[in-house]
């Protein structure tokens, strides 16, 4: 079996996925969801000219010569709280007390904050003074947030394929988008396989280990916007594997993700079972960790089989599953941000594309990476200590300290 490059394996997987369908959800349920259509502004933002300070709305020209030594006295003709539409127009020599966010009254073209007046009380319940002395000149437009300064009507604010961040929900609320068209969460059936696996709360037995992959992978999936269908552990028996795959099919999963049983071993029934109702290819990918990988489909549902070693499963998720989920979830770009970091020590590789666990820290303005421990694929602690994966390209067997390499921050 020849080795597939990481890029080729990823391309083959990605070409298989199409975005899941869309649904319309209340805005409050849309955090992290991927937009299924562009959002166009139906109004301007701000909706109206308003004050950015608690202060006095006035004619800037009236304040031109004002100073603490030579204050200017203005007649206060209105009191404008936030949420009220002013009914008076401000004439020369006049002012209106105004609160932050309140609409600017006609006539006024600037706001002078209370700090620059002799009426410094901000309590809205307190009556406005009859006159106010101002100590400072205001420029026209000062402390005024003009209507439409942020957003124009008809402007595309967010594009299809964008995952909604908290601040995006805020702008959607400002625009009155009470319901939003977003993609479903991809439903991912997750299973572990192996006779050696025990549940986390089961008493230890000799020769057995605890199933850790299902916890790590479920959390990675959820963090990537998937709904996880936890199927548990399949024993190394034909019927056990088949029972869980049938469950995944019954639950109408969009993806089946398993770990272990992909290296060609005597007790691996996964291939046999999947091929009874689909197909499964066993790949050897030119990467470390995580060389063995299985990809196929079961009853029409895409199937990705990650290696069993905990670090291999994690890296395989980042390299293959995260982009596949992105495509499935409707994301326009699922590309991870690659940062350049400087090696704090020499590193070695075997020439496969290597994903090294490292701790990246800023030292004198430079991002410096040091390996976070033993790089064996079963050594989960070094991944626990890591905050980055360094990517050493295929064909490179060693890299000296100070060399710059690509990294994914975790
Ligand atoms: P396999 O891919 O089945 O050859 O497994 C490779 C290694 O990963 C073995 O040491 C397994 O015991 C270990 N392993 C497999 N599945 C899990 C799991 N769910 N949690 C932790 N370790 C696992
Ligand atoms: Mg196994």
Q: Are 301 and 254 in contact (CB under 8 A)?
A: yes
Q: Are 89 and 167 in contact (CB under 8 A)?
A: no
> How many whole angstroms separate alpha carbon 129 and alpha carbon 114?
12
Instruction: Using pLDDT thresholds of 50, 70 and 90, give the confidence band for residue 123.
Output: confident
Q: Are 143 and 55 in contact (CB under 8 A)?
A: yes
In this predicted model, what pLDDT tens digit does every residue of 319-364 receive, in sequence order?
999 999 999 999 998 888 999 999 999 999 999 999 999 999 999 9
> How many whole angstroms separate alpha carbon 397 and alpha carbon 404?
15
Q: Are 404 and 341 in contact (CB under 8 A)?
A: yes
- Tokens representing residue 239 in the block: 């019927």
pLDDT above 60: residue 98:
yes
Q: Average pLDDT over the chain, rounded to whole? A: 96
pLDDT above 90: residue 271:
no
Ligand with an atom nearest the CA of residue 376: 1
In this predicted model, what pLDDT tens digit does every residue of 359-394 receive, in sequence order?
999 999 999 999 999 999 999 999 999 999 999 999
Count Cβ atoms below 10 Å from residue 287 Cβ, excluding itself: 24
Name the residue at shortest CA distance from atom 11 of ligand 1. 308
Please work out whether the CB of residue 309 comes within 6 Å of at least one atom of ligand 1: yes
The predicted structure's pLDDT at residue 1: 63
Name the residue at shortest CA distance from atom 5 of ligand 1. 308
CA torsion through residues 315, 318, 323, 324, sign = positive
Residues 6+ apart with CB under 8 A from 396: 349, 351
Task: Fill in the DSSP letter of residue 147.
Answer: T
> How many whole angstroms separate alpha carbon 135 and alpha carbon 112?
9
In the reported structure, the alpha carbon of residue 276 is separated from the centroid of ligand 1 by a whole-number distance in angstroms of 24
Q: How many helices (H) and strands (E) does the chain have?
A: 8, 28
In the reported structure, the alpha carbon of residue 309 is separated from the centroid of ligand 1 by a whole-number distance in angstroms of 5
Please work out whether the CB of residue 213 comes within 6 Å of at least one atom of ligand 1: yes
Name the residue at shortest CA distance from atom 17 of ligand 1. 308
Strands (E), 194-226: 197-198, 209-210
Ligand with an atom nearest the CA of residue 377: 1
Question: H/E/C letters for each residue in 23-92?
Answer: EEEEHHHCCCCEECCCEECCCCECCCCEECCCEEEECHHHHCCCCCCCCEEEEEEEEECCCCCCCCCCCC
> How many whole angstroms separate alpha carbon 283 and alpha carbon 305?
10
Please work out whether the CB of residue 192 comes within 6 Å of at least one atom of ligand 1: yes
Ligand with an atom nearest the CA of residue 211: 1
Mutate to test the pocket of ligand 1, among 212, 244, 259, 307 (most ligand atoms within 8 A of CB): 259
- Tokens representing residue 338 in the block: 């690659």
The predicted structure's pLDDT at residue 66: 96
Residue 255 β-bridge partners:
188
Q: Are 77 and 129 in contact (CB under 8 A)?
A: no
In this predicted model, what pLDDT tens digit does every residue of 215-236 receive, in sequence order?
999 999 999 999 999 999 999 9
CA torsion through residues 4, 6, 371, 384, sign = negative
- Distance between terminal CA atoms of the chain? 32
Task: Quote the radius of gyration of the chain (alpha carbons, Å).
Answer: 31
Please work out whether the CB of residue 63 comes within 6 Å of at least one atom of ligand 1: no
> How many whole angstroms separate alpha carbon 44 and alpha carbon 154?
9
Q: What angle, rounded to 10 degrees, do the helices at 6-14 and 322-329 form?
A: 20
The predicted structure's pLDDT at residue 270: 84
Domains and CATH numbers, the chain: 6-20+185-329 (3.40.980.10), 22-45+150-183 (3.90.105.10), 50-145 (2.170.190.11), 338-409 (2.40.340.10)
pLDDT above 70: residue 88:
yes
In this predicted model, what pLDDT tens digit does every residue of 140-198 receive, in sequence order?
999 999 999 999 999 999 999 999 999 999 999 999 999 999 999 999 999 999 999 99
Count Cβ atoms below 10 Å from residue 85 Cβ, excluding itself: 9
Tell me how long the chain is.
410
> How many whole angstroms separate alpha carbon 258 and alpha carbon 404?
35
Q: How, if at all, do strands 388-392 and 353-363 pair?
A: antiparallel
The predicted structure's pLDDT at residue 335: 82
Q: Are 286 and 392 in contact (CB under 8 A)?
A: no
The predicted structure's pLDDT at residue 110: 98
In this predicted model, what pLDDT tens digit does every residue of 51-62 receive, in sequence order?
999 999 999 999
Please work out whether the CB of residue 197 comes within 6 Å of at least one atom of ligand 1: yes
In the reported structure, the alpha carbon of residue 193 is separated from the centroid of ligand 2 by a whole-number distance in angstroms of 6
The predicted structure's pLDDT at residue 266: 53
In the reported structure, the alpha carbon of residue 213 is separated from the centroid of ligand 2 by a whole-number distance in angstroms of 12
Whole-structure pTM value:
0.93
């Amino acid at each position: 079996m020849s080795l597939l490059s990481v890029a080729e394996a990823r391309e083959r997987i990605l070409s298989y996925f199409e975005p899941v369908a869309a649904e319309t959800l209340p805005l409050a349920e849309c955090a992290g969801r991927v937009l299924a259509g562009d959002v166009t502004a139906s109004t301007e933002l701000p909706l109206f000219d308003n004050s950015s300070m608690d202060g006095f709305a006035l004619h800037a020209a009236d304040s031109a010569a004002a100073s603490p030594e030579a204050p200017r006295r203005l007649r206060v003709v209105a009191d404008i709280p936030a949420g009220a539409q002013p009914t008076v127009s401000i004439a020369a020599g006049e002012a209106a007390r105004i609160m932050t966010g309140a609409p600017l009254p006609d006539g006024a073209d600037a706001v002078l904050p209370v700090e620059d007046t002799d009426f410094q009380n901000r309590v809205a319940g307190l009556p406005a003074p009859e006159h106010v002395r101002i100590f400072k000149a205001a420029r026209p437009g000062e402390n005024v947030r003009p209507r439409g300064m942020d957003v124009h009507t008809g402007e595309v604010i967010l594009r299809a394929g964008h995952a909604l961040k908290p601040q995006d929900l805020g702008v959607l609320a400002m625009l009155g988008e009470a319901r939003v068209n977003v993609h479903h969460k991809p439903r991912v059936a997750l299973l572990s396989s192996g006779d050696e696996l025990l549940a986390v709360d089961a008493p230890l037995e000799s020769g057995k280990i605890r199933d850790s992959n299902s916890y790590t992978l479920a959390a990675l999936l959820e963090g990537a916007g998937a709904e996880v269908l936890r199927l548990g552990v399949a024993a190394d028996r034909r019927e056990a594997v088949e029972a869980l795959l049938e469950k995944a099919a019954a639950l109408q999963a969009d993806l089946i993700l398993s770990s272990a049983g992909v290296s060609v071993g005597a007790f691996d029934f996964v291939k046999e079972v999947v091929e009874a109702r689909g197909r499964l290819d066993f790949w050897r990918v030119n990467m470390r960790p995580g060389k063995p990988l299985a990809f196929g489909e079961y009853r029409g549902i895409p199937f990705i089989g990650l290696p069993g070693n905990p670090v291999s499963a994690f890296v395989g998720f980042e390299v293959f599953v995260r982009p596949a989920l992105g495509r499935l979830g409707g994301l326009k770009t699922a590309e991870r941000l690659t940062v350049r970091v400087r090696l704090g020590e020499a590193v070695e590789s075997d020439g496969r594309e290597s994903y090294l666990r490292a701790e990246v820290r800023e030292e004198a303005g430079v991002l410096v990476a040091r390996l976070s421990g033993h790089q064996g694929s079963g050594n989960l602690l070094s991944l626990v200590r890591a905050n980055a994966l360094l990517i050493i390209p295929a064909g490179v067997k060693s890299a000296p300290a100070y060399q710059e390499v690509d990294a994914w921050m975790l």
